Amino acid sequence: MIAAAGRHTCVLLDNDQVTCFGVGDFGQLGYGDSNNKNAPADL
């Protein structure tokens, strides 16, 4: 499953892990910070 917005994307993988990347200005990537992620990273 993929969820995408204008400037960020999150993917639910087959192993039930979630990975997100893109602009994280408001913490929308779920990492507990407001940093951007240029490549997918596990939550």
Quick one: 23 exposed, middle or buried, by C-beta within 10 A (0-12, 13-18, 19+)? Answer: middle
pLDDT tens for 8-43 read 999 999 999 999 999 999 999 999 999 999 999 888
pTM of the predicted model, to two decimals? 0.80
Residue ranges covered by each domain of the chain: 1-42
End-to-end, the C-alpha distance of the chain in Å comes to 15
The sheet that has 37-42: what strands, in order across it? 2-4, 8-12, 18-22, 37-42
Residues in the chain: 43
